[in-house]
Amino acid sequence: MAAAAAPAPASETSTPPLARRRPMRPPSTRTACSNASSSSHLAPHRAGFATSLPAATAREHPPPTLARRFSNSAPLSAKKSKKQRSPEASAPSSSPSTTAPSASPKVSPSRYPPLPPGWQAVIGVECHAQIKDRHKLFSTAQLPSANSVPNTLVAPFDAAHPATLPSLNRSALRLAIRAAIALGCHLRQESRFDRKHYFYSDLPAGYQITQKYAPLASNGRITLSFEDGHLPGPEDEVVVEVEQLQLEQDTAKSTYYDTGTVSRSDAATVEDGTDAATARGTSRSFVDLNRAGTGLMEIVSGPQMRSPEQAGAYVRKLQELLRRVGASDGNMQEGSLRCDVNVSVNRAGEPFGTRCEVKNLNSVRFMMNAIAHETQRQVAILEQGGRIEQETRGYDEARGTTFKLRGKEDAPDYRYMPDPNLPPIRLTEAQVDDVRRSLPELPEARRARLKSQYALNTRDINVLMRVGSEDEGSGRFPTPSGVAPTAVECGDAVDYFERIAQGRDPQIAVNWIIHELMKGLNTHNLAFSEDHIPPAQLGELIDLVESGKVTGTTAKSLLGELISSRARSVGEATSSDAPASDLAGVDIGTLSIFDLLSSRGLLALGSRDDLLPLCRQAIEELKQEAEKVRKGNLKVAMRIVGQVMKMAKGRADAKVVHEVILEELGHRIGDQN
């Protein structure tokens, strides 16, 4: 379906008009992630960004002084190695003239450059999370995947066919209730649906079903703690209010193609049959209705955040909660979680400044970069005597800057009205209690239990709880399908750890998981899944090491081979990183680690009787070193130990070998000290 360019609603990134207004930007392919339900006009109780200052003329570009500062900047890097860090990266500057960052400020791994003294940022975040159900919110059509053919998962209601009526998906409603409870929200006994009217190519009905006046839930909170591992320091801890959670339907997906970028396969999706040759040389937009009608939860925060780091921690904590209760997979790289941020600045003690909304941010890193640039842009304008106009802005990832989409005067009237085709949602205490009882252990309680029950440190707990939750897209695939795994599909590393830790030292178990198992999975580009190395097999390997039946070196080598074999079986390993092995085709889940090591002759030489012949042979081969040891130079004994380990092919315990060699050369064990 080819769609003509139309004035963008308050929730859309109007790419084609922007391209005409800014011809200096090179043509590119853009995908509009529609957030048609975004609250561009916050209700008075949500307007933490309101101000008594009058609006001024729009200033789309930064002032000349700030522009010069931006001109020599390098792209923002989310992380730096230790070698790249410098004291200047995180140290506060002495004057505002040197603290204003570039469009892509260079930051330390944990801090963005601070605002000039006396200024503070006020930040709120609106997140649109796709509900992780099999069907859409008001129809029986299945939810699309990354590989779905465009316009094939569309029910008549999703395409706004005449005489079709919505029917609320009760399973999706239950998932939204789970999310609301996890966020500590108050659930309304009666919530209602409204129609939000605007015309755009990705909205077939001309209106979106949302909950403007009576949302499903409100008055929740998310506590951002330093121990969660998302904040730079304890001083950044804050409690963020969740002002409301509302249900709404997603729009279709619009894809914009500039001159010469339409391929034949792309053109094949156009209903009028236009081929690529005809489309080439024109600017077109294509609409995929697969996403239309997908259930969304719009989660609106309060304006309690004061830094990009806090906003990033808020979104990551929200992702963690949604994934834990199964309400959404929260994968920003796939569009199942999209964020808009409201940003204003003011001097300490003064009313909040005029807010600007930055829309359609599809990663936490981009969101933090956009906030960092936008706050500095606003401060620079105000310090030069200008005024901030309330406007909607986009974020240019390549330049690391925000740019104007439209001003307040361009905002459309959405003409909200109750939806006559949908009855109110009425919830009883019994229904809510039933959902509450079905919830799993929430992240904060889980962290506390892991610390008290297993005595794990905060770092290890956070590593376990974040496995498989990369918001930027890890590019790791556990199956040959080529579809990026969700956090749920990756498996739960905490459950995996607890199964291995039963009857074993918890610290040893977590060390093997974090430092050996995850290292091997990363090497072969595999997402975490217990199917790769089942808990029983890793637990058996740990037991063999702890009992001395196999050395740590041999065990680590075997684990790497098992992972390599698994990588080959799912089609993700190459001949260079996964050499041929006799494990090909073996079901790892039924494999006996002891039998495998025994058949290969890799069990440890644990007794002194087994080691004595090897030690005597090494002493005979290294006569000069042996003589030095006899004369008291005990450090040289390690050369002989190394020779024994080489002959034993890693199957010997180096400590026991050392003791046997000293005894053979006439020293008591205590002499080595």
- pLDDT tens-digit readout, 435-475: 999 999 999 999 999 999 999 999 999 999 988 665 444 33
Q: For the chain, what is the total number of helices (H) and then of strands (E)? A: 23, 18
Whether pLDDT at 505 is above 90: yes
Residue 655 confidence class, pLDDT cut points 50, 70, 90: confident
CA distance 157 to 312: 37
Most confident of 9-13, 204-208, 407-411, 573-577: 204-208
Specify if 45 maps to a domain: yes
pLDDT tens per residue, range 512-558: 999 999 999 999 888 898 889 999 999 999 999 998 888 888 899 99
Taking 80 as the threshold, does the pLDDT of residue 189 lie above it? Answer: yes
The answer to whether residue 385 scores a pLDDT higher than 90 is yes
- Give a yes or no: residue 428 inside a domain: no
> Dihedrals φ, ψ of 113, to 5°?
-60, 135
Contact between 396 and 100 (Cβ < 8 Å):
no
Q: Is the pLDDT of residue 356 over 70?
A: yes
Written as six digits, the tokens of 226 are 């330093």
pLDDT recorded at residue 491: 58
Neighbours of 21 (CB within 10 A): 12
Co-location of 494 and 629 in the same domain = no
Among 244, 238, 245, 276, residue whose Cα is nearest residue 260: 276
Which pairing describes strands 391-396 and 356-361: parallel, antiparallel, or unpaired? parallel
Task: Tell me, yes or no, whether 205 and 255 share the same domain.
Answer: yes
| Domain shared by 453 and 579, yes or no | yes
Q: Are 194 and 424 in contact (CB under 8 A)?
A: no
Query: Residue 9, CB half-sphere, CA atoms under 13 Å: how many?
Result: 26
Q: Are residues 613 and 589 in the same domain?
A: no
What pLDDT shows up at residue 585? Answer: 55
Burial 216-228 (b: 16+ CB within 10 A, else e): bbbebebebbebb
Distance CA 126, CA 322 (A): 15
Hey, is 618 helix, strand or coil? helix
Domain boundary among 599, 625, 646: 599
Rounded Cα distance, 616 and 661, in Å: 8
Residue 629 domain boundaries = 608-672
Confidence (pLDDT) at 656? 83
Report which of residues 212 and 72 the model is more confident about: 212
With respect to residue 363, please indicate whether it lies within any of the assigned structural domains.
yes
Kindly state whether residue 433 falls inside one of the protein's structural domains.
Answer: no
Q: Cβ contacts of residue 131 below 8 Å, gap of 6+?
A: 137, 172, 175, 176, 294, 295, 296, 297, 327, 328
pLDDT score for 98: 32
Check residue 658 and give its pLDDT.
Answer: 86
Q: How confident is the model at residue 255 (pLDDT cuts 50, 70, 90)?
A: confident
User: Looking at the structure, do residues 489 and 454 belong to the same domain, yes or no?
Assistant: yes
- Answer yes or no: is 12 within a domain: yes
Q: Is 238 helix (H, G, I), strand (E, B) or coil?
A: strand
Split at pLDDT 50, 70, 90, the class of 647 is confident
Residues 311 and 401 in one domain: yes
pLDDT at 110 over 80: no
CB-CB contact of 309 with 121 (8 Å): no
Residue 435 lies in a domain: no
Specify whether 519 is located in the same domain as 625: no
Query: For the stretch 155-180, what's the b/e string if a residue is b when 16 or more beta carbons lie within 10 angstroms of its beta carbon?
Result: bebbbeeeebebebbeebbbbbbbbb
Domain membership flag for residue 430: no
Whether 434 is in a domain gets the answer no
Domain identity same for 663 and 592: no
- What is the distance between the alpha carbons of residues 104 and 70, in angstroms, rounded to a whole number? 8
- Report the domain count for the chain: 3
pLDDT (0 to 100) of residue 171: 97
- Residue 549's pLDDT is what? 87
- Output the pLDDT for position 367: 96
Question: Which CATH number characterizes residue 659's domain?
Answer: 1.10.10
- Which of 8-12, 55-59, 270-274, 325-329 holds the top average pLDDT? 325-329
Taken in order 42, 48, 53, 56, the sign of the CA dihedral is: negative
Beta carbons of 76 and 101 less than 8 angstroms apart? no
Structure token pair of residue 628:
């030095």
Last residue of a domain, one of 560, 578, 599: 599
The residue ranking higher by pLDDT, 340 or 602, is 340
Is 432 within 8 Å of 216 (Cβ atoms)?
Answer: no
- Contact between 381 and 76 (Cβ < 8 Å): no
Place of tokens 């590119």: 28
Q: Which of 575, 599, 623 is a domain's end point? A: 599
pLDDT at residue 582 in the model: 56
Mark whether 46 and 186 lie in a shared domain: yes
* Of 289-303, 518-532, 557-571, 600-614, minimum mean pLDDT range: 600-614
CB 296 within 8 A of CB 127: no
Mark residue 571 as left, alpha or beta (left: phi above 0; alpha: psi -120 to 50; beta: remaining). left
Is residue 542 within a helix (H) or strand (E), and if so which, with residue range?
Answer: helix 535-546
Model confidence at 26, pLDDT cuts 50, 70, 90, reads: very low
Does 501 share its domain with 531?
yes
Q: Which helix (H) or strand (E) holds 288?
A: strand 284-288
Whether residue 450 sits in one domain with residue 491: yes
Residues 587 and 662 in one domain: no
pLDDT band at 109 (very low <50, low <70, confident <90, very high): very low
pLDDT reading at 44 higher than 60: no
